[in-house]
């Protein structure tokens, strides 16, 4: 099925838009192409969500898969909003939906998992794989500290909960 390519600035069905990202530029009609796994702000729930693929399995590849009209955003809304791609003009991709199983089979399990609550404990080790016991650490998302403490005898941190897939940064003091 032909679908319009989504780009930074395209709107969501609930309001909000696809956010910019850092990295090499791929431009369609003067706008940076949006990627599956990229960020979009939802005006309805006032949260930042992750772009997830729906529809057919094929996409244009550039630093990952490009997003398309109708893809969803996994934000805090009960029903994920859809991308309304317009800014790329007449730039289209064939997602291969005519050869694919039903639509629901193509919402990636990893994208669904990225939106669920996560509660993890981490083991800090040295380069040889030995536990770093009694070491001070801080875990953060960008500048926001999620947890801090001292590792236990097995080098483990306290349990750290996030409200979805996050890139965590560990600051470790030796």
Q: How far apart are the first and last CA of the chain?
A: 55
Helix (H) / strand (E) element for 119: namely: strand 118-120
Cα 67 to chain center, whole Å? 12
- Sequential pLDDT tens for the chain (174 residues): 888 999 999 999 999 999 988 877 788 778 899 998 889 999 999 999 999 988 877 778 877 788 999 999 999 888 999 999 999 888 888 777 766 555 444 455 455 444 555 667 888 888 888 888 999 999 888 778 888 889 999 988 888 877 766 778 888 886
Tell me the C-alpha distance between 70 and 89, whole Å: 15
Cα 80 to chain center, whole Å? 14
Q: If you compute the radius of gyration of the chain from its CA atoms, what whole number of angstroms results?
A: 19
pLDDT given for residue 174 in this prediction: 66
């Amino acid at each position: 099925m032909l679908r319009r390519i989504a780009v930074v600035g395209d709107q969501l069905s609930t309001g909000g838009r696809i956010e910019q990202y850092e990295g090499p530029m791929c431009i369609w009609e003067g706008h940076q192409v949006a990627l599956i796994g990229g960020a979009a702000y939802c005006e309805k729930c006032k949260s930042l969500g992750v772009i997830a693929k729906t529809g057919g399995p094929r996409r244009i590849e550039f630093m990952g898969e490009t997003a398309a009209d109708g893809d969803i955003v996994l934000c805090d809304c009960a029903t994920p909003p859809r991308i309304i791609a317009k800014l790329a003009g007449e730039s289209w991709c064939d997602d291969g939906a005519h050869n694919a199983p039903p639509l629901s089979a193509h919402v990636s399990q990893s994208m669904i998992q990225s939106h669920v609550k996560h509660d993890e404990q981490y083991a800090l080790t040295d380069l040889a794989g030995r536990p770093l016991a009694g070491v001070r650490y801080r875990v953060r998302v960008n500048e926001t500290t999620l947890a801090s403490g001292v590792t236990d005898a097995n080098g483990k941190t306290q349990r750290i909960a996030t409200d979805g897939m996050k890139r965590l940064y560990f600051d470790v003091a030796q």
